[in-house]
Structure 1
Amino acid sequence: MTKKQSFLNACGALLIGLAAIHSPPALAVNDAMLDLLRILRDKGSLTQDEYEMLINASKADAEHVNFAKEEVKRIDTTNIVTKDKLSFTSKDGDFEWQPIGRIMADYHIVDSDLSAIDTEGAFRRARLGMQGKMWGKWIWKLEYDFSSGSADMKDGYVGYEQAYANGKWNIKAGQHHIPFGIATMSSSKYLTLLERPLLADGELQPARNLGLSGFIHGGEVWTLNAGVYGASEGTPADPNTFEEVNIAARGTWNPYLKDPVHLLYVGGSIWYRNPNDSSLRIRQRPGVIRAADERFIDANFGTGLAEDVLAFDAEGVAIWGPFHLQGEYVHWNVTPTTPTAWSAVEPGDVDLNGYYIEASYFLTGESMNLKTAEGVFSGVKPFAIAGKGGIGAWQVAIRYDVMDLNDFVTGAGAGVRGGLERDLRIGLKWYPTQNLNFMADYTTVLELDRPGSSRDSDEPGAFNLRALVYW
């Protein structure tokens, strides 16, 4: 065999060896290949220089392959979820990013009584935001509402979340919910009727403020949530006073929990507020009709007259298959800066309250979705999606609603005359899919008692429509 032929044979052996190097599972220098080159050298088929040249080339190629393999390992594959939501999660699960938002387009056909209220359409909510986690433990959320024509912050916080033997706990800092009452703490995406009750999402039951809070739950049985807050983001600061102080705590318990659709849930909250000389005013639109610009019940305590407020909330929910019953009561005790601030006839504190009872039934058999580990409602998933062989979920609901902002001495003309209002709201909700809903309801003011006001005995009603999509 000539030297030329021997070298060609060696090159052929090298090519075979390189193919073995690149074939799975081996991605490093193949020991068998090195042994083959050594044998060819020992038999004289390869000179020492040719042997060393081929060995070095083989090692260099193997190092390149190993480097490429390590680079592939370092590339973090992202998991993309598109079922019922859109989210992006790192391969190890430590990082997650989810775009969020909701659009609610409403139309109100108003049956005015004493006061003229325009029939109108409007975007009730138009929100965009994002939420996620970092390094497995750090949680965050940022969401703005654009329905007013400007960007209004709803949530904007960072937090730390940790699992323990019986559940999870977390700490949040920034703008987020004050732990007080289920009606306001549950998202507007999951309402059974177009609007929350009279007592919710306002002064009687506040929504979000800037603060620091902690939360913990024990399995599906109980939750505890408490925090310290200032004013809401965007509230104008008064250089002559300290910012208001809010301290709140909420606990929930499930005395009966057969399964997620057969349960009994109760909860209670306490909330202390010091306005620090800022104005204190509790008011509400008639029937929570958004087309009404003016609030027909209005307890205006003025500026600097309220020392502090102590409020209590009791809530309860029962779910039994397609049937759902819910109720809540809020009591407000307002202490004046001076005993006769509002009444010289009966000096002292002012007591205000509100309550409601609500029931719903799914005609298609679904159930309300209560997250017992969080103490809030979540989305309802139809058994069969409309457009894919089903008709979606259909739900009927009714609510009786009372808000009493009167506390005065009969016949003396003294005290607080904010007004007493009683409402009735009935509705129908269609869920073609979990994230797309259509709602229709009718609300009417059954009674409005506000002595001395032009709104006294004003009892409007409205037929309301909504198209809702969220993600």
Structure 2
Amino acid sequence: MTRTYRLSVAAAALCCTMATPLFAQDVTVSADELAAMRAQLSAMNARIDQLEGELASAKAANEAQDTAIAAQAEATSAKPTPVGELAKKDGWSFKPRGRLMFDAGFTNAPDSTGASEGFGNEVRRARLGASGDIPGGFGYKFELDFAGNEVEAADAYLSYADGPVEVIVGHHNNFQSLEELTSSLHTTFIERAAFTDAFGFERRIGASIQYADGPILAQAGVFTDNFDDTSSKNRGADARVVFMPKIGDTQLHFGGSVHYNDLDDPAATVRYRQRPLVHFTSQRFIDTGSMGADSETGYGLEAAAISGRFHAAGEAYWQSVDMPATSNDPTFFGGYVEAGVFLTDDTRGYKGGKFDRTKPVKPVGKGGFGSLQFNLRYDYLDLNDAGIVGGKQDGYFASLIWKPTDYTALAVNYGRLQYTDTIIPTATGDTSYGVDAFGVRAQVDF
């Protein structure tokens, strides 16, 4: 309120006070009365000044509080605390982790082979662990797997991140394949592509560095061996580059990797073999047997696309073995192509150069059915080369995956595997025949 306005109000009040009696009768206002009225007006102006000051202070305090609330809300929305994670203000956090997978099913081979077949079941994975942040940009992850009546370490490492760069030291995956790097929680079949297991892809102890900026991902590391084989002298190096642009609503993925493993042992051997789709059988129909080797060298190519309900993916991998006892080193090959579609209004997850969690748009418990995905895959593995006859596999697979919620799933798999040069002949000596495999998985994680 301006001083001119206050004086106008006071003058109007004074006029009203003086004018009203004048209409009724002639009134003489003494000097004392005028002095008293002036004192009242002065007091009113002082009170108005006080109220204006208090109003301005309150307004400034409210604006400061609104700014602080907005900043806090923005910070919270930028990095929300994950469900189940215990966070502290000093930068520490702790998130329990776990997964449980139970598989059951059967395999069926020609009776005259005498191969182990029929019903089988197992706890495929039973993991418990934790992950979190440490002040200063550091992090940690540690998980133990209790499946198979054994205790094995899965991920067990410390990490440091600074902008687009992340360094990891400890027991973790090296960089050999899209299928291998995708968590078992998020694959489209209950077992990964045949070549990943046949060529011995696994976590190893080592140090790695990763650079991720926009659609570019580069990874490299040096490794020794798995926790169970720390006595070995194996030394290896891996590198992987991924280009992952997003065009409209379509996520693309193109990658390549190289792997080298120096066995560094005069008596070192390698052996490549593979089960028929499911893990609960110990029977292998293709197997190179043990081969004396100095080193392994692998090259891989990757491609994938996700567009709405649809996805497609494919990989090719060549594994060469340096065998001192032969003049011609063998190179084995494996790969797959697959396509899938959601029968519900959902899409496959993707993050950081690998497939990620599918989150049903309408989960069970919130008025929905969850997600339902159908997938087809052709899986090829050739273990024949340079005089080594380990056999060939042509696998034709189908899977149906129902996810009631983000963290639960039920998968049904069927595979028809056509073998050539299998190591288990029939009674008539035939080494080319088919094997059926059927598997069901129930899983939950947190």
TM-score w.r.t. length of structure 1: 0.73
The verdict on how the C-alpha distance between 1:96 and 1:451 changes in structure 2, with shifts beyond 3 A counting, is closer
Q: Do 2:285 and 2:424's aligned partners in 1 also have CA atoms closer than 8 Å?
A: no
The answer for the alignment partner of 1:155 in structure 2 is: 155
**Residue in 2 that maps onto 1:55:** none
Q: How far apart, in 1, do the equivalents of 2:275 and 2:401 lie?
A: 23
Query: Could you tell me whether the CA contact under 8 Å between 2:185 and 2:357 is conserved in 1?
Result: yes
Q: Counterpart of 1:104 in structure 2: which amino acid? A: M
Deviations 1:369-420 (A, max 9, x none): 111xx21111111111113211111100011000000014xxxxxx111111
- Residue 205 of structure 1 and its aligned partner are, at CA, apart by 5.6
Amino acid paired to 2:399? G
Aligned positions of 1:382-401 closer than 5 A: 382-401=360-379
Amino acid at match of 1:313: G
Matching residue of 1:298: 287
Residues in 2 aligned to 1:235 and 1:431: alpha-carbon distance in whole angstroms: 37
| Alignment counterpart, residue 197 of structure 1, candidates 193, 196, 202 | 193
Aligned equivalents of 1:336, 1:386: Cα separation in 2 = 55
What is the aligned partner in structure 2 of residue 49 from structure 1?
Answer: none
Whole-angstrom CA distance in 1 between matches of 2:425 and 2:230: 30
Match of 2:344 in 1: 364
More helix by share: 2
Which consecutive unaligned segments of at least 5 residues does structure 2 have? 1-79
**Counterpart for residue 435 of structure 2:** 460
Deviation digits for residues 98-138 of structure 1, max 9, x if unmatched? 10010001111332323231302211111111111100411
| Residue 175 (1) aligns with residue 171 (2) | yes
Residues 134-172 of structure 1, C-alpha deviations (whole Å, 9 max, x = no match): 004111111011111121001111121111xxxx21111
> For residue 151 of structure 1, what is the amino acid of its counterpart?
V
1:88 maps to a residue whose letter is L
C-alpha deviations, 1:253-311, integer Å up to 9, x for none?
Answer: 02x4125x41221000000111122221111112x222321322112343xx2121211
| Counterpart-to-counterpart distance in 2, 1:425 and 1:144 | 30
Percent of residue pairs bearing the same amino acid type: 30
Spell out, residue by residue over 1:184-205, the C-alpha distance to the aligned partner (whole angstroms, 9 max, x if none): 01100101121111012x3526
Query: Structure 1 pair 224/426, CA: closer, same or farther in 2 (3 Å)?
Result: same
| Match of residue 103 from structure 1 | 100
- 2:384 is matched with which residue? 406
Tell me if 1:228 matches 2:225. no
Residues in 1 aligned to 2:318 and 2:161: alpha-carbon distance in whole angstroms: 32
Q: Secondary structure at the match of 2:185?
A: helix
Whether the aligned pair in 2 keeps the contact of 1:392 and 1:433 (CA below 8 Å) is: yes
1:354 aligns with 2:334: yes
Q: What CA deviation, in whole Å up to 9, does each residue of 1:340-370 have, x standing for no partner? A: 3xxxxxx311110001001110011211111
Do the aligned residues in 1 keep the contact of 2:286 with 2:423 (CA within 8 Å)? Answer: no
Change (3 A) 1:236 1:218: closer
The equivalent of 2:45 in structure 1 is: none
Q: Which one-letter code corresponds to 1:169 in the other structure?
A: V
- Structure 2 CA distance for partners of 1:325 and 1:291, relative to 1, 3 Å: same
Match of 2:17 in 1: none
Using the alignment, how far apart are the partners of 2:433 and 2:87 within structure 1? Answer: 54
Q: Secondary structure at the match of 1:459?
A: strand
Corresponding position of 2:252? 264
Displacement of 1:175? 0.5
Where 1:399 maps in the other structure, the secondary structure is: strand
Distance in 2 between residues matched to 1:449 and 1:398, nearest whole Å: 25
2:311 alignment counterpart: 324
Partner letter of residue 327 of structure 1? G
Show structure 1 runs of 4+ deviating over 6 A: none
Q: CA deviation at 1:458?
A: 4.4
Instruction: Tell me which residue corresponds to 1:78.
Output: none
Q: Give the counterpart of 1:334 among 309, 312, 321.
A: 321
Q: 1:112 to 1:203 in 2, by over 3 A?
A: closer
Does 1:185 find its partner at 2:181? Answer: yes
Letter in 1 for 2:175: P
Residue 439 of structure 1 aligns with which residue? 411
Pair 452,398 (structure 1): closer, same or farther in 2 beyond 3 Å = closer
- RMSD, aligned α-carbons: 2.0
For the residues of structure 2 that align with 1:82 and 1:160, how far apart are their CA atoms? 19
2:87 to 81, 89, 108: 89
CA contact (8 A) 1:215 1:224 kept: yes
The 8 Å contact of residues 116 and 283 in structure 2, kept in 1 or not, is answered as: no
Asked if 2 retains the 8 angstrom alpha-carbon contact of 1:185 and 1:207, the reply is no
- Structure 2 CA distance for aligned equivalents of residues 174 and 392 of structure 1: 37
